[in-house]
Structure 1
């Protein structure tokens, strides 16, 4: 395992391999946490400074043909500040035999400033290329801090002015979180922060690595607002209806900015078959789901028969309350990456907008069931208000496609069952309650 770009770095790729093999599975953004690593290699590396380097790492798992690539920003120093002690991967022998501690430099303020400075200056460095939009200046001298939120990437806020989102798992091609907001901004859509700068790989393949956008410092995410309302039993219907309108406006903007295609004649049948396959897989992993399989299969079968004449278009792809921000009395939409675990081509493809609606409806359900006293009536009222708002600004009424919406909700709930069983068993009752409700509904 070698990389000619690390010729003067204080550590070698061979020294990093065992550290990374132990450290990666513990990271929230590592998609192979439940699988053994069979091979790990550094495929590209660039020194940003004498003790700070950017890596593109390839990870393989036993019995799987596909591999995954991750970007890392690592530091190596004899002495690590106390605030970085919890970010240390391990210790290696450096030049002249002195011990060096390797750490996750994303959390190092000096390294974060260095990275933004490289983006601001632009140009190529090693396997990296830094870009910005014309006439867009990235300011310097901003103090960075990493957002402490549960997500599949890492976000660094600079001086409450900018936010840099680093895509931890990297796939070849342009990331939708750069592509979609940029295209929407060119078409006059103002409810998504437009990217100002970004960086990407130039070798061994092209891939978006990070995007810089304006940071909405005074905003509150929808999950926080909805959860507070559910716990305090306050009215959230106005916000839910506004969010429905905002989602409808977003879908219209996406349809205007990107191509829209008519769904093939067999689209619904194939989609229902895919939902059924996902259900069978989920039931094989989560025994609690098995008593509901027959009724869920019936939900998908009814969807296949009913069909849908909705056109296919670009959508958000992972829409929920955590992906929207409330600021200045309006909703703003962020994180257009889609589900990171899905192939990039699928995330950039055309899909039914019902998928986004179902994701938001499931999110209201989650907000209502967190805590010791579930509030299903609160969720149902918010869901109805959201759909009513969507009907006002979108191109169809969700209440008029109950069979289609129910199938998408059920498919989403099945996905949630697998996720919660693997990562948050205490939350498994939330999607399981939804599964039972959806089985009773038809």
Structure 2
């Protein structure tokens, strides 16, 4: 392992977007290096590195935009992003750092989309969609708060989403956003960055460029603010106003699902495939129960819901869906809801995320998110039944509004497919239990309480 790889092996597991937290990193190597800028002895230089990380029998690939400068020239505001000092690729000692924080270097990425200089730049290709209008000249400002990827905003015009963990071939986020191009419910795609990586027969998507939606509010922020105001004694009119937003989000979701079904392949699940899907749910429940014993007291009821689902008369329609749908994946500008991040669950293999699925999976994900918005604010208020009752009422009203809007927008009527919807919700909640136990133990009660409430509601009497 070279000196740079040793530094990266210490730095990588500490990053919030690293997917293998809690599992020892047994090996790391630089799989490929793509030089995007070399500014001479005084730098700065910009390299795009693809790292291969080995953990307990699995191998993952990650993308790093690596900046390097002589130590004395590193600006003070970039000091906290430093990875270390080493000889970079056989050269003189340099300080290396995460270049996503360097506005001087990231500004060059947008310029490269309009660069028509031929030759010598085939390893990493900057593609633009026909008709895309790009405005260059703005520095790349790093957006905070993302977990699995890194986004750079250029002025008020564009946002570049760089995929930190890489999977072979086109990223589903690019596929689905391109399929939805022209829709008012997505940020218009403008282009992407791709590269040929070892072992991948098709180009791998490194980043996606879209129009930036300014002055938009995150759906999670809107929802939790509404719950907080309700718990603080706000009027029911304010709660009702958000229920209208939930209904609009339901209609928007149905419109997006319809557009995807019209432009991408569709199919149906046979009875045998439904049975196989239920068996996979049972396996995930068993794994989660083994790791989180608190889940065991509800396991039988959840299993019963899966059993009911396995006997659905079907067939159920399938299509491409969002795949990781929740309030944090939608924003509310003035013109209506906009959906983001069609990458799917980033910890799942890309071939699984590309599979067709029943649209009720997305519906279930959003319904779980309303429960999360209510339950999240109860973490610091245990043993307060009045607050809990108010929060649960809020969640129920918004879940009902979303489902009503989804059906009104032409989607599958959730009220007529309650057995399937219930199974999808439990499956998502079980996943959440495992996620919180591994990453945010203080949030674990949120999905556990939701499962307990759902189980209690299904018990007669």
- What's the TM-score bracket when you normalise by the shorter of the two chains? over 0.9
1:142-291 equivalence runs, <5 A: 142-185=138-181, 188-204=182-198, 205=200, 206-233=203-230, 234-235=238-239, 236-291=242-297
1:372-387 equivalence runs, <5 A: 372=381, 373-374=387-388, 375-387=391-403
Q: Does 1:412 align with 2:428?
A: yes
Query: What is residue 384 of structure 2 aligned with on the other side?
Result: none
* Aligned counterparts of 2:194 and 2:178: Cα–Cα separation in 1: 16
Query: What is residue 134 of structure 1 aligned with on the other side?
Result: 130
Deviation, structure 1 residue 100:
2.3
* Aligned counterparts of 2:77 and 2:257: Cα–Cα separation in 1: 43
Equivalent residue in structure 2 for 1:112, among 85, 106, 116: 106
Query: What is residue 83 of structure 2 aligned with on the other side?
Result: 89
Report if aligned partners of 2:271, 2:315 keep a CA contact under 8 Å in 1: no
Q: What is the alpha-carbon root mean square deviation over aligned residues? A: 1.8
Equivalent residue in structure 1 for 2:360, among 354, 362, 369: 354
Report if aligned partners of 1:92, 1:101 keep a CA contact under 8 Å in 2: yes
Q: 1:307 to 1:81 in 2, by over 3 A?
A: farther
Query: What is residue 7 of structure 1 aligned with on the other side?
Result: none
Equivalent residue in structure 1 for 2:59, among 62, 67, 75: 67
Deviation, structure 1 residue 346:
1.4
* Aligned counterparts of 2:134 and 2:291: Cα–Cα separation in 1: 47
Deviation, structure 1 residue 184:
1.7
Report if aligned partners of 1:120, 1:137 keep a CA contact under 8 Å in 2: no
Q: Does 1:101 align with 2:95?
A: yes
1:284-363 equivalence runs, <5 A: 284-363=290-369
Equivalent residue in structure 2 for 1:35, among 23, 45, 51: 23
Deviation, structure 1 residue 252:
1.0
**Per-residue CA distance 1:45-99 (angstroms, 9 max, x = gap):** 011122221101111113x1x4111110011221322211211112224699964
* Aligned counterparts of 2:315 and 2:171: Cα–Cα separation in 1: 29
Report if aligned partners of 1:355, 1:408 keep a CA contact under 8 Å in 2: yes
Report if aligned partners of 2:320, 2:357 keep a CA contact under 8 Å in 1: yes
Report if aligned partners of 1:171, 1:344 keep a CA contact under 8 Å in 2: yes
Report if aligned partners of 2:186, 2:339 keep a CA contact under 8 Å in 1: yes
Deviation, structure 1 residue 119:
2.6
Query: What is residue 6 of structure 2 aligned with on the other side?
Result: 18
Q: Does 1:399 align with 2:415?
A: yes
* Aligned counterparts of 1:215 and 1:97: Cα–Cα separation in 2: 39
Q: 1:396 to 1:203 in 2, by over 3 A?
A: closer
* Aligned counterparts of 1:349 and 1:212: Cα–Cα separation in 2: 24
The alignment partner of 1:364 has SS state of helix
Deviation, structure 1 residue 399:
1.2
Q: 1:15 to 1:392 in 2, by over 3 A?
A: same
**Per-residue CA distance 1:277-310 (angstroms, 9 max, x = gap):** 0011111111211222122111111111234332
Q: TM-score, normalised by structure 1?
A: 0.92
* Aligned counterparts of 2:49 and 2:450: Cα–Cα separation in 1: 42
Q: How many residues align?
A: 426
* Aligned counterparts of 1:168 and 1:203: Cα–Cα separation in 2: 15
* Aligned counterparts of 2:164 and 2:89: Cα–Cα separation in 1: 29
Report if aligned partners of 1:46, 1:126 keep a CA contact under 8 Å in 2: no
Report if aligned partners of 1:299, 1:439 keep a CA contact under 8 Å in 2: no
In structure 1, stretches of 5+ residues that fail to align are: 2-13
The alignment partner of 1:262 has SS state of strand
* Aligned counterparts of 2:91 and 2:324: Cα–Cα separation in 1: 48
Deviation, structure 1 residue 394:
2.5
Q: TM-score, normalised by structure 2?
A: 0.89
Report if aligned partners of 1:308, 1:404 keep a CA contact under 8 Å in 2: no
* Aligned counterparts of 1:222 and 1:353: Cα–Cα separation in 2: 20
Q: 1:379 to 1:121 in 2, by over 3 A?
A: same
* Aligned counterparts of 2:329 and 2:65: Cα–Cα separation in 1: 25
Q: Which moved more, 1:189-198 or 1:94-103?
A: 94-103
